[in-house]
Structures are given as C-alpha cells and as structure tokens.
Amino acid sequence: GAGVSQSPSNKVTEKGKDVELRCDPISGHTALYWYRQRLGQGLEFLIYFQGNSAPDKSGLPSDRFSAERTGESVSTLTIQRTQQEDSAVYLCASSLRMNQPQHFGDGTRLSIL
C-alpha cells in the first residue's frame, strides 16, 4: 500500500495476556518508529529502527515491551503480561531515512480489560 499499515486496528485482551502489534512501513523507508498515545496524554516515543537495528531501547516503558524488525520491512511490538496501564493507541511511523519527515499509520487501539 501507499501508507504505513498497522494491524490489528483494535485489540481487546485480558490482563496478563501477551499481545503482538504489527507495522508495515512504506516501501523503501529505512527508518521505523513506535509511539504510544495514552488517553489524555501526549505522544510518547518508544523506539526506532534504522534497518533492523534498534540502537536505543531505553524508551520502552518496561522489560515487558520488546520490538523487532525484519530487514527494512515489517516490525512487531510485543507486550508481555499486559497490564491495564498498557491501554493506549500504539502508533507506528516510517521515514525514508533518518532525519526525514515521519509518516504515521492509523495506530492500534489496545484495550486491556
């Protein structure tokens, strides 16, 4: 597709379950970013990939969060043992390369019961 694609668009799960969020960046974009948008709060930067490398993982909220990227394509954000505080919209963005404008997907709305 022409834009950044995220799946699922909505996810409802029980506390304690693991979830996996997927991001398909724009073809040819080498940089990929994950953000979190909690209700009533601003966007929070989580992690970025240059190719399949994530040099800095310090933005991830806890060790329950992990992210991977296959080459310069799909990325997955995994949350283990979900907690209610993980409820948020998770946004993915990609850019042609570093220091270029980011293009955002529509996000995955995650609700933890």
Residues that bind other proteins (CB under 8 A): 3-4, 6, 31, 33, 35, 41-45, 48, 55-56, 59, 91, 93, 95, 98-107
- CB nearer other proteins, residue 9 or residue 15: 9
- How near is the Cβ of 55 to other proteins at its closest, in Å? 7
- How near is the Cβ of 50 to other proteins at its closest, in Å? 8
Task: Give 34-88 as a 3 state SS string.
Answer: EEEECCCCCEEEEEEEECCECCCCCCCCCCCEEEEECCCCCEEEEECCCCHHHCE
Distance from chain centroid for Cα 91: 5
- CB nearer other proteins, residue 48 or residue 65: 48
